Amino acid sequence: MSGIPEPVPGIHHPERKSGPTWPDGVNPGPRTGLGPGSRPDAGESDLLAGTLPDVVIVELFADPPDIHLYPEEADRVKRAVDRRRREFATVRLCARTALARLGVPPGPILPGPAGAPAWPEGVAGSMTHCPGYRAAAVARTATVAAVGIDAEPNSALPRGVERRVASPEERRTLDRLALSHPAVAWDRLLFSAKESTYKTCFPLMGRLMDFSDCTITPDPERGTFSSSLHVPGPVVGGRRVNTFTGHWRTVVREDVEYVATGIVVPAAPAPAVVR
């Protein structure tokens, strides 16, 4: 689910009907560079893997041939162009691989009424794709209440779009970061962080959100960001959550630069057993 009610012209929007992770047996290939949001505990070419605690993330940088789709899934993309069908199939391969690592049997992953993926009972998840990259993140709801991920090319947003996605306060922050850390496309990172925020909130709140519904503040040194909501946030374990802390990372893969963001909301602890 994307938090954007209508697509913004000139921007790739991550799949609004589901999201991806990485399967086993992928040859990651050589690393060509990492941005300041990179983490030393990740693999050389990982973009999202290792960023979110208690979450299984599977990611792919290519579309394998002949991916199996369930009939219900194939029906959703039977009239789509080839690129869309390949994205749709690969992101589900990622998701099913991630679910298998949780011990969840395979099955169709279909979009719900609002476009967000309908995950199996007891699973929180998110999917994303951009040109050259697909990923899915899943976790048990006993541990994680919600997760949201997004990936984008690490390049500036199309002309004029920044003003649609960033508040004046955020644009001032972006200007400062562009001077101090020019290797990151900060407007694109902000866009991605808002997408991750919306994907995190939707399963908990059941409502679409707009760009103006949160403020993103990136931390260029820690590879994190805060997302502060301007609408009442979800209630988790009896407590309203209005601010999230997310992680971001950049990677260069075969001369293509990517930026990705992710948020995980821990589940409320189980009540203590009184003996």
Q: Is 33 helix (H, G, I), strand (E, B) or coil?
A: strand
pLDDT in tens, 121-180: 999 999 999 999 999 999 999 999 999 999 999 999 999 999 999 999 999 999 999 999
Cα distance between residue 111 and residue 121, in whole Å: 15
Percentage with pLDDT > 70 across the chain:
81
Report the C-alpha gap between 137 and 24 in whole angstroms.
14
Q: Tell me the average pLDDT across 24-46.
A: 39
pTM of the shown model:
0.83
Separation between Cα atoms, residue 269 and residue 250, nearest integer Å: 32
Residue 13: pLDDT band (50, 70, 90) is: very low
Residue 40, Cβ density class (10 Å: 0-12 exposed, 13-18 middle, ≥19 buried): exposed
**Burial class of residue 205 in the structure, from the number of CB atoms within 10 Å of its CB (0-12 exposed, 13-18 middle, 19+ buried):** middle
Q: Supply the pLDDT for residue 273.
A: 52
Residue 214 has φ and ψ, to the nearest 5°, of -150, 160
Q: Sorting pLDDT into bands at 50, 70 and 90, what band is 275?
A: low
Percent helix, strand and coil across the chain, each to the nearest 5: 25, 25, 50
Q: What are phi and psi of 15, to 5 degrees?
A: -50, 125
Q: From the DSSP assignment, how many helices (H) and strands (E) are in the chain?
A: 5, 11
Distances (CA, A) of 191 to 8, 48, 116, 162, 217: 11, 16, 18, 8, 12
pLDDT of residue 114: 77
Rounded to the nearest 10 degrees, the angle between the axes of helix 186-205 and helix 168-180 is 130
Confidence category of residue 270, pLDDT binned at 50, 70, 90: low
Query: For the ranges 2-6, 146-150, 194-198, 269-273, which has the lowest average pLDDT?
Result: 2-6
Residue 151 bridge partners (DSSP): 260
pLDDT over 60 (residue 206): yes
- Which one, of 78, 67, 66, 75, lies nearest residue 20 by Cα? 67
Range in 19-28, 79-88, 256-265 the model is least confident about:
19-28
Average pLDDT, the chain: 84
From CA 31, how far away is CA 96, in angstroms rounded?
26
Which pLDDT score, from 0 to 100, does residue 139 have? 98
- Asked whether 101 and 3 are in contact (CB, 8 A), the reply is no
User: Which structure tokens are listed for 52?
Assistant: 């979110």
Residue 123 carries which DSSP code? E
CB 250 within 8 A of CB 34: yes
Q: Which two tokens stand for residue 234?
A: 């979800």
Cross-strand pairs, 266? 144
**Phi and psi at residue 8, to the nearest 5°:** -85, 120
Write out pLDDT tens, residues 45-88. Answer: 789 988 999 999 999 999 999 999 999 999 999 999 999 999 99
